[in-house]
Structure 1
Amino acid sequence: MAEMGGIPDDRCGYNLLEDGTADFPVGDCAQDILENFHLQQDGSACCWRETWKDTDQCIWHARVEDKPLKKLKAARTNNPEQLDGAYLVGVEIASSISFHGCGLRAAIFKDVTLPRAGFHDASLRHAQFHHVELPEAEFHNADLSYARFQHVELPESDFYNAELLLTEFDNVVLLLAKFRNASLPRVDFYDSRLTFAEFYDAKLFNAQFRSTNLYRAKFQGANFSGEDPPIHSLGGTDHSSAKFHDSDLLHADFRGTQLSNVVFCHSDISGGDYTDADARDADFSHATLHNALFTRTDCRGATFTNALLYETVFADARINSQTTFYDSGVSRPVVVYEKNPHALEGLSMDTHPLEAAEWVYRRLEKLHDENALSEEARKFHISKQEVRRKYQYELEDYPQYAISTLQWHVNGHGESIFRIFRSAAILILACGILYPFVGGIGSSSTGTVYSIPLTLSRIASLDGAATLLQGIYFSVITFTTIGYGDLYPIGVGSKVLVGFESLSGAILIALFVFVLGRRVAR
């Protein structure tokens, strides 16, 4: 490295301190990296390369477009170099070029083609890549913190063990890209294509995936939770949750992934595999989860409100009372398919939305039952029966619809003891009032006949009131099938009514025992 002093006219003099890289660690760098730099009296470093042509800077730092490829290759040594602030605009390099171990902080790459470029162990902090083609580029162990990629082609690029703190990818093609063991805290993938990308064991604390295509992306072992962050410079930042907003993650592989607090709002993650993943407090609201697989997944505290869950598999999944599948404040769960039964919501043409809603309710009833959440399981059972009743009406299956409607009002689809008591009370009172008017009842001990002719004066009299009380008493013992024998029906009408009430009473009592046993068993 040149000694301290002034900068001659034939030297570049590019000052790192003025170009936003004041954190350049002069004292820690190896001699071979700093050999082209000059240490100034204020402690900053400047480029000591010879000026190029009629510019006042070297070929790397001169703000000139379309620099000759031969000159660049001649200026590039095979050893690591300090090229911070390099300016490469409009350069097309047909063959591979290596920047292995180089310092490229705040470097600018624009309208450049660099196939199979090697950036191993390079420092690219604050670097900018605009309209660049970097197919099969290698960024092993590179530091890309604060770098920005805009309209860049990076197919099959490899970011193994790279550092990407707050790196921005704006409209970038990362087809088949590999981010194995990479650290990507607060990275922003906006409107980018990450089809078949691999994030094995990557650290994605508070990463953002907005309008991103992640078709068949793989996230095995990836950590989104922010536990044990390896980057000391993250101090004070919140890196507890990644965000996938309006993203396409069809068939994405999240097996064994840490997904605590991750946000999947409005994203399509159909066919995804979340086996053995930790999805505590994750947000899947308004997401499409058709055919997704949640096997042994920890979903405690997760939110699935308004999510599309048709044919989603929850096998041995773990949930708790904080796991939500529907909006609060409603009497029973209502999924999207039932809210808008005339919309397909991504279903196949041969699947009716109400069929899908019934399927979802059935699976969620089982899931809550398996996790000892009996009250929620009861609500999903009711929703399942209600949506079936709606579907019967749409199919014009009116006999089945009538039976389902009667079940709902009588016993709340087998879940309401209160409705059974209410139905029994209505039946007893109605039959008790009718007995005196359809033939009457007689007393075996006194021979008195209790009947009321249909005249207003007789009904309003004291005798009429006493007769009605006898009718209600007879209705109670008929309903309960006690049959003391002191009263008996008179006339065909009363006998028919006795048969109806006795049969109905037996059914209601049996329903009461069934519902009570069902609720106790839960």
Structure 2
Amino acid sequence: MEDTRGDAADRSNRGDEGGESTGVGGDARAVAADDPATVDPSILHLSPAEREARGITDDDVRETFRTVLERGTEDQKDLSGVTLPALALDRTTLESADRHPVDLSGATIEALSLSYSRVTVPVVLDGATLGSLRLTEAHAETPVSCSDVTVTGETSLFEAQFDNDVAFDGATFEGPVDCDEATFRDDVRFDEATFDDEVTFRAAECHGDSNHLDDNTSFSGATFRSTVSFRETEFGFTMFDDLTCCETAVFQEATFTGDAEFHGAGFGADADFDEVEFRDDTAFTNATFQQQATFRGASFAGGARTLTDDASFAEAVFHDAVTFRRASFRYVTFADAEFRGTARFESATFNGDADFPNVSFARAVNFDEGRFREDADFSGGQFDGPCTFRGCEFVGGANHLKDDVSFEKARFADDVDFHDAEIASANVRNVAFGGTIDFSRCLVSERIDIEAHGIDDDAFVDFTRGKIRSGRIVQPAEGWVRYDLTLASVGDVELEAERTTDRRQLLDYFRFCRTEFDEFDGHTFDFSGHREYLDRNGWTIHGFDEPRTDEFDPDYALEMTPEVIETTYLKAKQSASEIGDMKTAGEFRVKRQRYSRHKTLEAVSDPDAGLWTRLKNLGRVVENCFLGLTCGHGMRPMRIGIVFAIAPLFFAIPYAFGGPLFETGAEGFYENLYFSYISYTTIGYGDIGPIGPLARLLAGSEAYLSTVLAALLVYALVKRSEL
């Protein structure tokens, strides 16, 4: 029987005397086209040594394989476990009389090439070992099953097209894999596949079918030991869960039209997702990035479902730098994520809720110019490095039941920058500050609630030129924080202390300097709740208490000149007057006049000013001093009353002891005191009169002084009655 097979193979190889051949396309094959009995696959089951011993060439094997593929029965197409030479079936159309697959499960093939071919016969290569696999520009219309296949050399699917399911799950690719511009129109699986060399899927298309209950493309548990590129690839519903990339992974400009699942994926080197479009839900939960990860310009649009986040990086770990610069998100969560390197979110846009609860940033994080269109949650976050939110917009959405941005229970160990940020409403309660918190030029259009404690004694919040419409700032039991409100606009903001006993020193930690208090219509700052402190501290609001450490030396926006301080108390007075707190308004008016005097003194001492200008300012200084000493600028009626009552006493002394120049005709101090009082009150009974020239001068001065002091007394009483 074996000899017969050998002779038949030999004849097949040589052809008959008429030159007719039984090879590919020969007449013999055409004659037996409908007769499976003429197909003899036995030589395919021989070992290479047995074939060599019988003189069966590799061409005989290839011709027999082709014959079996086209005309073989189901049993004849069972070639599992065979060992074959290189099969080159390029530029042909592989058709079969039936739809039974060619089963090469467990086979060993030196190389398999179907480049530029059209394959209409199902091919099974499960568990096979191939020296190389080439399907360059091939078109497979039937399923291709290569589960657990091992390819020891090159694999090329360049521009190949697969109309049906393709399975490479469990496959091992020891050589490079080229799937550039390949098209997978149905489901394709590379689950648990191992790629030992470079892999490229550039501009490939993995569309899948319309079945949303399964994944169109799956690389679950796949391992890429070398670089892999999916640049510009188009995916449908895709699974990359538990993926392992040991070297650089590139997804730049890829498009995911369905769900993209990267749960538990591990990236051992750089991961490039720049300009990727995720049009449906995306999950990088528990993913690990050992080196740099970039998502610059990536788009996370999400799908129609509202029960899950459109993008999730929950519990992801970024060991090195990561950037989401100019990325756009809808609903996204980074809950419990760890950023161990620098994180950059500059100009990122969050069109839905942005959830960062319990996230940790070990180094610098940058959200400059970020746009948060819905609620943002950073509660419980750990910020160990510098943090910047410069120019961010936290405008919130239609949900008024919670804050537009929340940092509740967050911890900032270093400086934080909210310069020029726009915030609708914010929750900054139970927060720890370890450095300078810069809210300069920040706009709070609705409300901010701050209850922060300092990690050290130098915690400092800078609201210079900021605008706060309303809110509440609470000093905790321990670790008070200083707030600088220089040039800020403060509306209806409550200042409180957690412990009632601490409220007396509350304003020691707030600095108002040229602060606007009535910019927001209907929201005016109220000093009346702090009168106890202000009375104790001389109504001073333009400075902090003495710093507890020598290191506290922030840069203030304005130098504390008398003019600056005067303007500060003028604005405070106007604010108190607007809400009807005349007592506070009056006290601030006294403070303002004091620093106005200092300002005018500087003009008096200015050597570059003209003489007349200096004299006029000197007159203002004298006037200011006089009003301050006599009636406290209208706020001290008791003082002017006492001055009015005892002023004649001082005139009586020169009358009594001044000699002839002050002679009045009275004898003794008592009569001179009597004369002083009747001169002061301009009663003039006529029994006593000034005789000496200086006595006449003093008597007239007393009458004039009494008029002035009486007017001041009336002025002070009227002002006092307004309180």
Q: Give the structure-1-normalised TM-score.
A: 0.71
Contact 2:369 2:390 in 1 (8 A): yes
1:432 and 2:652 are equivalent in the alignment: yes
Deviation of 1:386 after TM superposition, in Å, equals 0.9
1:329 and 2:536 are equivalent in the alignment: yes
- Change in Cα spacing, 1:481 to 1:262, as seen in structure 2 (3 Å) is farther
Deviation of 1:362 after TM superposition, in Å, equals 0.8
1:462 corresponding residue in structure 2? none
1:171 corresponding residue in structure 2? 364
1:450 and 2:663 are equivalent in the alignment: no
2:571 corresponding residue in structure 1? 363
Contact 1:93 1:115 in 2 (8 A): yes
CA distance in 2, matches of 1:134, 1:257: 29
Instruction: List runs of 5+ in structure 2 lacking aligned partners.
Output: 1-169, 173-190, 193-211, 227-238, 303-309, 397-403, 476-480, 497-505, 547-553, 606-616
RMSD: 4.2
Contact 2:448 2:470 in 1 (8 A): yes
**Count of paired positions:** 438
Contact 1:272 1:293 in 2 (8 A): yes
Contact 1:83 1:102 in 2 (8 A): no
Report the residue type matching 1:111 in the other structure: Q
Deviation of 1:389 after TM superposition, in Å, equals 1.5
Report the residue type matching 1:414 in the other structure: G
- Describe the SS at the equivalent of 1:256: strand
Post-superposition CA distance 1:22-72 (Å, at most 9, x none): xxxxxxxx9769x99xxxxxxxxxx97355569xxx98647764244379x
Contact 1:301 1:319 in 2 (8 A): no
Post-superposition CA distance 1:255-275 (Å, at most 9, x none): 12344657997344344333x
1:309 corresponding residue in structure 2? 513
Structure 1 window deviating more from structure 2 (179-188 vs 321-330): it is 321-330
2:161 corresponding residue in structure 1? none
Report the residue type matching 1:203 in the other structure: V
- Describe the SS at the equivalent of 1:487: coil
- Describe the SS at the equivalent of 1:314: coil
Contact 1:224 1:241 in 2 (8 A): no
1:224 corresponding residue in structure 2? 427
- Describe the SS at the equivalent of 2:689: strand
Contact 1:164 1:182 in 2 (8 A): no
Report the residue type matching 2:642 in the other structure: R
1:39 corresponding residue in structure 2? none
- Describe the SS at the equivalent of 1:377: helix
CA distance in 2, matches of 1:509, 1:312: 37
1:79 corresponding residue in structure 2? 259
Contact 1:320 1:371 in 2 (8 A): no
- Change in Cα spacing, 1:167 to 1:137, as seen in structure 2 (3 Å) is same
- Change in Cα spacing, 1:287 to 1:188, as seen in structure 2 (3 Å) is farther
CA distance in 1, matches of 2:682, 2:621: 30
1:299 corresponding residue in structure 2? 493
Deviation of 1:82 after TM superposition, in Å, equals 5.7
Deviation of 1:417 after TM superposition, in Å, equals 1.7
Deviation of 1:310 after TM superposition, in Å, equals 2.3
CA distance in 1, matches of 2:712, 2:684: 21
2:626 corresponding residue in structure 1? 406
1:513 and 2:700 are equivalent in the alignment: no
CA distance in 1, matches of 2:532, 2:427: 23
Deviation of 1:489 after TM superposition, in Å, equals 2.6
Post-superposition CA distance 1:285-323 (Å, at most 9, x none): 442532x334xx212336765525326352351414235
1:393 corresponding residue in structure 2? 601
CA distance in 1, matches of 2:422, 2:448: 13
- Describe the SS at the equivalent of 2:643: helix
1:147 and 2:337 are equivalent in the alignment: yes
- Change in Cα spacing, 1:310 to 1:153, as seen in structure 2 (3 Å) is same
The structure with the largest strand share of the pair is 2
1:266 and 2:498 are equivalent in the alignment: no
Structure 1 window deviating more from structure 2 (185-194 vs 242-251): it is 242-251
1:378 is aligned, of 586, 591, 606, to 586
CA distance in 2, matches of 1:88, 1:153: 20
CA distance in 2, matches of 1:346, 1:329: 27
- Change in Cα spacing, 1:328 to 1:191, as seen in structure 2 (3 Å) is farther
Structure 1 window deviating more from structure 2 (377-386 vs 256-265): it is 256-265
Deviation of 1:361 after TM superposition, in Å, equals 0.8
Deviation of 1:112 after TM superposition, in Å, equals 1.8
CA distance in 1, matches of 2:563, 2:387: 36
In percent, how many aligned pairs have the same letter?
A: 20
- Change in Cα spacing, 1:289 to 1:245, as seen in structure 2 (3 Å) is farther
CA distance in 1, matches of 2:223, 2:493: 62
- Describe the SS at the equivalent of 1:503: helix
- Describe the SS at the equivalent of 2:518: strand
CA distance in 1, matches of 2:674, 2:366: 82
Alignment of 1:333-348 (within 5 A): 333=540, 335-336=542-543, 345-347=556-558
Q: Which has the larger radius of gyration?
A: 2
Higher relative contact order (CA 8 A, sep 6+): 1
1:256 corresponding residue in structure 2? 446
CA distance in 2, matches of 1:142, 1:132: 16
Deviation of 1:520 after TM superposition, in Å, equals 0.5
- Change in Cα spacing, 1:224 to 1:50, as seen in structure 2 (3 Å) is closer
Post-superposition CA distance 1:336-383 (Å, at most 9, x none): 49x9xxx99434xxx882111111111111111222333322221111
CA distance in 2, matches of 1:93, 1:436: 101
Deviation of 1:435 after TM superposition, in Å, equals 1.7
1:117 corresponding residue in structure 2? 298
Contact 1:307 1:336 in 2 (8 A): yes
Post-superposition CA distance 1:236-261 (Å, at most 9, x none): xxx46796962333432211234465
CA distance in 1, matches of 2:287, 2:251: 20
Report the residue type matching 2:592 in the other structure: K
Report the residue type matching 1:123 in the other structure: S
CA distance in 1, matches of 2:534, 2:715: 30
1:198 corresponding residue in structure 2? 393
CA distance in 2, matches of 1:126, 1:288: 38
Contact 1:224 1:262 in 2 (8 A): no
- Change in Cα spacing, 1:519 to 1:324, as seen in structure 2 (3 Å) is closer
1:287 corresponding residue in structure 2? 484
CA distance in 2, matches of 1:298, 1:511: 36
Deviation of 1:412 after TM superposition, in Å, equals 1.8
1:211 and 2:415 are equivalent in the alignment: yes
CA distance in 1, matches of 2:541, 2:395: 37
Structure 1 window deviating more from structure 2 (316-325 vs 168-177): it is 316-325
Report the residue type matching 2:557 in the other structure: G
1:158 corresponding residue in structure 2? 349
Structure 1 window deviating more from structure 2 (209-218 vs 128-137): it is 209-218
- Change in Cα spacing, 1:152 to 1:161, as seen in structure 2 (3 Å) is same
Report the residue type matching 1:481 in the other structure: T
1:25 corresponding residue in structure 2? none
2:699 corresponding residue in structure 1? 498
Q: Give the structure-2-normalised TM-score.
A: 0.53
